Amino acid sequence: MASLKDRLRRAREIAGARADAPCAPAPPSGDRAPPEGFEGNGPGLLRRETFFPLELPQAWNLEPFLPAADLAASGDPRAVEAGRLRFFDLETTGLSGGAGTIAFLAAVGRVVEGGVSVRQWLIEDWPAEGALLAELARELDPEAVLVSYNGRSFDVPLVRGRFVMNRLRWPERPHADILHACRRLWRRTLGSCSLQALESAVLGAERDADIPGSEIPEVFIAFARTGQDERMDLVARHNARDVASLASLALEAARVHEEPFRRDDVDPASLGLWFSRRDAALARAVLERGFARGDARSGLALAALCRREGNEDARDAILAKLAPTPFTLVERAKRAEHAFRDPAAALALAEAALALERRQTARAALERRMERLRRRLGRPD
């Protein structure tokens, strides 16, 4: 019987597929031309450091980014010492995760005099991954606080798995992932909340040459196989630049959470809701401004705030000012029926709501409401 490999090969030929040209083993490290600025950092591992001049404060407010569980561990979250921050970002061999996806490039930025200094480690081939992870762990001293863009859902779970597979322990640290705060501020107003999109729209910065994130995995695969790929320069630049932008964006997002009127491009309703659990007066100010500018969601949030404060009259006024929707009409109908004892007005409002409502269950509830009101009015259907 033919060998397994021959049988598989024959099947592939029949299917019309051809093997890639058999790949030569990668040249030894010494023969490689490392990407721009990188130097050897042990077998198979490269390292470089890049400085980005930026104006950054000494104390950072991370409260908008840190989950409650991490708050206690990090001291006062509203004044975190700049020296503790580790802005970080990974480039990986795949975008869907899983045990076969590794981090081949890691960047860690620290605040230094006059800006951010970004250290990067790049592996030349798979076996050096453990060395990269060990360097990364060294950066995360016990006082360190991680700052990332989407690191909670992507980078940290992935790198935690990589540590497990290399029989290392991932140093758990407080982690400020700024993605959710950025979405809160800008998703409704700017649309895309990718780091690159916000870098351009919020920070007003433009990148000259860049590489789309989706192409990055194949660059490394080619780089590892052939020993070089000129696109790796772009990947490394992309990665370092992401970390520098992350620092600027974190600062700006934190400031908006302190001075809500600082920018006009933020979503007042979402920001107001965030404040409503912390500072009711500020929340009211943000929402009133949003509502005055015609933002209905701010109006609804304001109405909810009024109810929480027991100010039903103010709530009524807001609901009446809002464009009629099934929700506002039903809420007004409830008030007309129960607070003002005016079933006729309540019925009219419920009828108006029914005309707009399309969901089956909600329509059924409205019909029951109307039937009850008609009974009270002594009217047949």
Partner 1 sequence: MDTDSATGFFAKTFGPPGSDPRFVHVESIPPREGAYAAFPADLDPRLSRALRGRGIDRLYVHQARSFEAARAGRNVCVVTPTASGKTLCYNLPVAQALLESSSARALYLFPTKALSQDQQAELNELSLSGELPIRVATYDGDTPSSLRAAARDTGRIVITNPDMLHSGVLPNHPKWIKFFSDLRYVVIDEMHGYRGVFGSHVANVIRRLRRVAAFYGAHPSFILCSATIGNPAELAHRLIGEDVELVDENGAPSAPKLVAFCNPPLVDPVQGIRKSTATESVELALRLLRAGIKTILFARSRVRVELIASYLNDALANVWTENERIRVEPYRSGLLPNERRAIEKGLRNGDIQGVVSTNALELGIDIGGLDAAVIAGFPGSFASFWQQAGRAGRRAGASLAVFVASSSPLDQYIVAHPDYFFGRDPESARLDADNPYVYADHVKCAAFELPFAEGESFGPDLEGALSFLEEDGHVRRTGGRWFWSSQGYPSEGISLRSATADNVVIVDATEGRDQVIGEMDRPSAKELIFDDAVYIHRGRQFVVLKLDIENRLCKVEEREVNYYTDAVVKTDLKVLSADAEGGEPGYAWSLGDVLVRSQAEKFKKIRFHTHENVGYGEVHQAPEETQTRAASLLFPPGSAGGAVLAKLSEAERAAAIASAANLVRQIAPVFLMCDPRDLGVSERSRDPHFDVPCIHLYDRYPGGTGLAEALVERLPEIFAAALERGGGCACESGCPSCIGVDWQVPFAQVPGRAVKASTRAFLSACAGAKRVADGPRAGN
Chain positions contacting partner 1, by CB under 8 A:
1, 3-5, 7-9, 11-12, 14, 17, 19-20, 22-23, 25-26, 93-100, 125-127, 157, 160-162, 164-165, 217-218, 221, 224-225, 360
CB within 8 Å of 369: residues ≥ 6 apart: 330, 333, 350
Q: Give the residue with the Cβ less far from partner 1, 159 or 318.
A: 159
Angle at 180 between CA 179 and CA 184, to 5 degrees: 120
Q: Give the residue with the Cβ less far from partner 1, 162 or 237.
A: 162
Place of tokens 């490290």: 29
In the complex, the smallest distance separating the C-beta of residue 92 from partner 1, rounded to whole angstroms, is: 10
Q: Give the residue with the Cβ less far from partner 1, 213 or 324.
A: 213
CA distance 369 to 266: 39
In the complex, the smallest distance separating the C-beta of residue 265 from partner 1, rounded to whole angstroms, is: 32
Torsion of CA 356, 362, 366, 372, to 10 degrees: 180
Q: Give the residue with the Cβ less far from partner 1, 28 or 57.
A: 28
Q: Give the residue with the Cβ less far from partner 1, 87 or 104.
A: 104
Q: Give the residue with the Cβ less far from partner 1, 193 or 224.
A: 224
Question: Contact at 8 Å (CB) between 204 and 188?
Answer: no
In the complex, the smallest distance separating the C-beta of residue 381 from partner 1, rounded to whole angstroms, is: 20
Work out the angle between the directed axes of helices 360-377 and 343-356 (0-180°, nearest 10). 160
DSSP state of 74: T
Count CB atoms within 10 A of the CB of residue 146: 24
In the complex, the smallest distance separating the C-beta of residue 340 from partner 1, rounded to whole angstroms, is: 35
In the complex, the smallest distance separating the C-beta of residue 99 from partner 1, rounded to whole angstroms, is: 5
In the complex, the smallest distance separating the C-beta of residue 223 from partner 1, rounded to whole angstroms, is: 11
| Antiparallel, parallel or unpaired: β 85-92 and 45-53 | unpaired
Alpha helices in 76-139 (DSSP H): 129-139
